């Protein structure tokens, strides 16, 4: 999708549709929409008075052949109350506009900014919404007639003095949304098309194109590093594991600057292993690599945004399969760190592969860690599919920084407690620790505590994205399937250094 700035007065634009947003309130016909209303002979005011046009969030009003405009259609989208308006709402508005118009086979339209946010934030949010909204998960459909995409969007409504900031926002939004779609593309791949080796190849190709350093550890190097926890998961599959390491180094890093380690779970398919999952819904476990795909997408964005801090992405990739060589409940494994683990449930495999990846990220020099993983079904019980679960180590200032980035980008995240009492749940009977908690409840927290044991004193955050990385149903602004959640927060977090 091409997005350009258009300086022609919007009433004269010959386009398939002119889209803008209105705020809920006593009079939703404000600012530029008031000009349109005058040109249209008061039609919009009339709709507002009758109660048809209110400005409620994502209310859609589509008018054909609007008087006073050269556009074929006028699409007004509700933005809710002005004092609650934010980038997340504008992103949804832009995404919903793209999705509804392409469903009507519109290919080109104009989007009129109608205030509410700074020019930079406005342009960024519109670009992000449009590009993410245009993404479809129809790669494997052969009927290309159904392949509807938006070709181009003209952004209008920025004055000459606002233009430089808006241009900056547009570029940033394009980079971020393209990277989010890169992540979503990976997550959407079925496991027969995306094995750990294929994921590594795709990561390598991305890194080379983006100008990032990349190192792919094969099964031999993984064994040489004694990554026993990762290998224990991989041993049940005929597909060998990989550890993908992608590094961004800034041109001028300060010597005392932090080094951020981004670790992402990439189980390209999770059957549960010998502790096998029920058949019902198992097909969804192709998205068990969403954490890894997110970190690769973040690295791709950082290569273009060039922040001032070094970032190392570490993605352990494996299948979790039952089989003659698979690990069995009760098996004791030695992780790379030397800690011994009693594997009580082979379906709690994400924490095993993260354990070694975190140890390796620290060995590579990471001073601050974030991991993202589709780790537990329990996080869906706690937070449904609304919030990402956030878990932190003792260094709350690091977690607060991430939560601030989540708020700034409008990604919903919620911190859960990590009291020492929960740590007791994973104390091992026959090894140092066990991979599931004894007793009932707190499954997401015990999972987090397991990973924290390997982060040690290094400031660390764990994001449980099991409930939020996949949309079971399409939203007006986003297709069914992978969401790319937490990429924007992480890009923002890294950009604050």
Residues with Cβ within 8 Å of 99's Cβ and at least 6 positions away in sequence, in order, are: 133, 134, 476, 477, 478, 479
Least gap, CB of 373 to ligand BES (angstroms): 8
**Among Zn ion, ligand BES, none, what binds residue 436 when CB lies within 5 to 8 Å by partner kind?**
ligand BES
**Contact stretch for ligand BES (CB under 6 A) within 54-62, 255-263, 346-354, 361-369:** 346-354
Least gap, CB of 286 to Zn ion (angstroms): 11
Positions that interact with Zn ion (CB under 5 A): 267, 270, 288, 347, 349-350
Should residue 237 be labelled a site residue for ligand BES when binding is judged by CB under 6 A?
A: no
Q: Which residues are bridge partners to 331 per DSSP?
A: 343
In angstroms, the CA 148 to CA 136 distance is: 9
Question: What are the backbone angles phi and psi of residue 450, rounded to the nearest 5°?
Answer: -60, -45
In angstroms, the CA 64 to CA 51 distance is: 19
Contact residue for ligand BES among 345, 367, 385, 495 (CB under 6 A): 345
**Among Zn ion, ligand BES, none, what binds residue 466 when CB lies within 5 to 8 Å by partner kind?**
ligand BES
- Which of 46, 163, 168, 277 is labelled catalytic? 277
For residues 439 and 61, is the Cβ–Cβ distance under 8 A? no
**Contact stretch for ligand BES (CB under 6 A) within 227-235, 321-329, 340-348, 405-413:** 340-348
Contact residue for ligand BES among 288, 319, 342, 411 (CB under 6 A): 288
Should residue 374 be labelled a site residue for ligand BES when binding is judged by CB under 6 A?
A: yes
Should residue 443 be labelled a site residue for ligand BES when binding is judged by CB under 6 A?
A: yes
141 is catalytic: no
Least gap, CB of 385 to ligand BES (angstroms): 10
Should residue 350 be labelled a site residue for ligand BES when binding is judged by CB under 6 A?
A: yes
Question: At which residue do the structure tokens 């949309």 appear?
Answer: 471
Contact residue for ligand BES among 121, 239, 342, 347 (CB under 6 A): 347
Measured distance between the N- and C-terminal CA atoms of the chain, rounded to whole angstroms: 31
- In terms of DSSP bridges, do strands 470-471 and 481-482 run parallel, antiparallel, or are they unpaired? antiparallel
**Among ligand BES, Zn ion, none, what binds residue 376 when CB lies within 5 to 8 Å by partner kind?**
ligand BES
Least gap, CB of 221 to Zn ion (angstroms): 23
Should residue 436 be labelled a site residue for ligand BES when binding is judged by CB under 6 A?
A: yes
163 is catalytic: no
The length of the chain, given as a count of residues:
497
Should residue 377 be labelled a site residue for ligand BES when binding is judged by CB under 6 A?
A: yes
Should residue 389 be labelled a site residue for ligand BES when binding is judged by CB under 6 A?
A: no
Closer residue to ligand BES in complex, CB, 311/372: 372
**Among Zn ion, ligand BES, none, what binds residue 203 when CB lies within 5 to 8 Å by partner kind?**
none
**Contact stretch for ligand BES (CB under 6 A) within 106-114, 325-333, 348-356, 449-457:** 348-356
Should residue 434 be labelled a site residue for ligand BES when binding is judged by CB under 6 A?
A: no
Should residue 376 be labelled a site residue for ligand BES when binding is judged by CB under 6 A?
A: yes
Least gap, CB of 175 to Zn ion (angstroms): 30
**Contact stretch for ligand BES (CB under 6 A) within 40-48, 112-120, 159-167, 345-353:** 345-353
Should residue 484 be labelled a site residue for ligand BES when binding is judged by CB under 6 A?
A: no
Should residue 349 be labelled a site residue for ligand BES when binding is judged by CB under 6 A?
A: yes
**Among ligand BES, Zn ion, none, what binds residue 128 when CB lies within 5 to 8 Å by partner kind?**
none
**Among Zn ion, ligand BES, none, what binds residue 263 when CB lies within 5 to 8 Å by partner kind?**
none
Should residue 348 be labelled a site residue for ligand BES when binding is judged by CB under 6 A?
A: yes
3-state SS, one letter per residue, for the chain = CEEEECCCCHHHCCCCCEEEEEEECCCCCCHHHHHHHHHCCCHHHHHHHHCCCCCCCCCEEEEECCCCCCCCEEEEEEEEEHHHCCHHHHHHHHHHHHHHHHHCCCCEEEEECCCCCCHHHHHHHHHHHHHHHHCCCCCCCCCHHHCCCCCEEEEECCCCCCHHHHHHHHHHHHHHHHHHHHHHHHHHCCCCCCCHHHHHHHHHHHHHHHCCEEEEECHHHHHHCCCHHHHHHHCCCCCCCEEEEEEECCCCCCCCCCEEEEEECEEEEECCCCCCCCCCCHHHHHHHHHHHHHHHHHHHHHHHHCCCCEEEEEEEEEEECCCCCCCCCCEEEECCCCCEEEECCCCCCHHHHHHHHHHHHHHCCCCEEEEEECCCCHHHHHHCCCCEEEEECCCHHHHHHHHHHHHHHCCCEEECCCCHHHHHHHECCCCCEECCCCCCCCHHHHHHHHHHHHHCCCCEEEEECCCCCEECCCECCECCEECCCCHHHHHHHHHCC
Should residue 270 be labelled a site residue for ligand BES when binding is judged by CB under 6 A?
A: yes
Closer residue to ligand BES in complex, CB, 29/348: 348
**Among ligand BES, Zn ion, none, what binds residue 316 when CB lies within 5 to 8 Å by partner kind?**
none
Closer residue to Zn ion in complex, CB, 134/347: 347
Should residue 371 be labelled a site residue for ligand BES when binding is judged by CB under 6 A?
A: no
User: Where in the sequence numbering do the catalytic residues fall?
Assistant: 277, 351
Return residues touching ligand BES (CB under 6 A): 270, 288, 345, 347-350, 374-378, 436, 443, 466
């Amino acid at each position: 999708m091409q997005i350009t700035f258009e300086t022609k007065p919007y009433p004269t634009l010959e386009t398939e549709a002119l889209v803008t947003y209105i705020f809920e309130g006593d009079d939703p016909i404000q600012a530029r929409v008031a000009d349109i209303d005058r040109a249209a002979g008061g039609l919009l005011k009339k709709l507002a008075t009758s109660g048809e046009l209110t400005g409620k969030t994502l209310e859609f009003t589509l008018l054909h052949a609007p008087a006073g405009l050269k556009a074929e259609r006028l699409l007004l989208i509700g933005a809710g109350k002005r004092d609650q308006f934010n980038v997340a709402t504008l992103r949804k508005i832009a995404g919903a506009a793209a999705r509804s118009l392409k469903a009507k086979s519109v290919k080109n339209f104009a989007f009129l900014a109608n205030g509410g946010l700074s020019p930079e934030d406005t342009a960024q949010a519109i670009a992000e919404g449009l590009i993410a909204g245009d993404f479809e998960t129809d790669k494997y459909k052969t009927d290309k007639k159904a392949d509807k995409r938006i070709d181009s969007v003209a952004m209008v409504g920025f004055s000459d003095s606002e233009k430089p900031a808006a241009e900056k926002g547009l570029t940033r939004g394009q980079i971020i949304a393209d990277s989010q779609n890169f992540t979503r593309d990976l997550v959407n791949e079925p496991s027969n098309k995306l094995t750990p080796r294929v994921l590594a190849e795709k990561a390598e190709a991305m890194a080379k194109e983006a100008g990032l350093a990349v190192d792919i550890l094969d099964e031999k190097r993984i064994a040489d590093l004694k990554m026993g926890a990762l290998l224990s998961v991989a041993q049940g599959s005929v597909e060998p594991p990989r550890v993908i390491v992608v590094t961004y180094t800034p041109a001028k890093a300060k010597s005392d600057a932090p080094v951020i380690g981004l670790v992402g779970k990439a189980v390209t398919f999770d059957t549960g292993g010998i502790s096998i999952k029920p058949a019902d819904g198992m097909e969804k476990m192709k998205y068990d690599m969403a954490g890894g795909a997110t970190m690769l997408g973040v690295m791709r964005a950082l290569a273009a945004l060039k922040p001032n801090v070094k970032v190392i992405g570490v993605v352990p990739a494996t299948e979790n399969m039952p089989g003659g060589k698979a690990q069995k409940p009760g098996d004791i494994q030695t992780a790379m760190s030397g800690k011994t683990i009693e594997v009580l449930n082979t379906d709690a495999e994400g924490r095993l592969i993260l354990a070694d990846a975190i140890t390796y990220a620290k060995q590579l020099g990471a001073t601050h860690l974030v991991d993202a993983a589709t780790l537990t079904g329990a996080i869906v019980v706690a937070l449904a599919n609304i919030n990402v679960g956030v878990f932190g180590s003792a260094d709350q200032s690091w977690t607060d920084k991430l939560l601030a980035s989540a708020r700034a980008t409008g990604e919903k995240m919620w911190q859960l407690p990590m009291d020492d009492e929960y740590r007791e749940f994973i104390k091992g009977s026959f090894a140092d620790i066990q991979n599931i908690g004894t007793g009932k409840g707190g499954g997401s927290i015990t999972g987090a505590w397991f990973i924290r044991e390997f982060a040690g004193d290094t400031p660390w955050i764990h994001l449980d994205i099991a409930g939020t990385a996949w949309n079971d149903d399409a939203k007006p602004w986003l297709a069914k399937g992978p969401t790319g959640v937490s990429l924007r927060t992480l890009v923002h977090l890294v950009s604050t250094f």
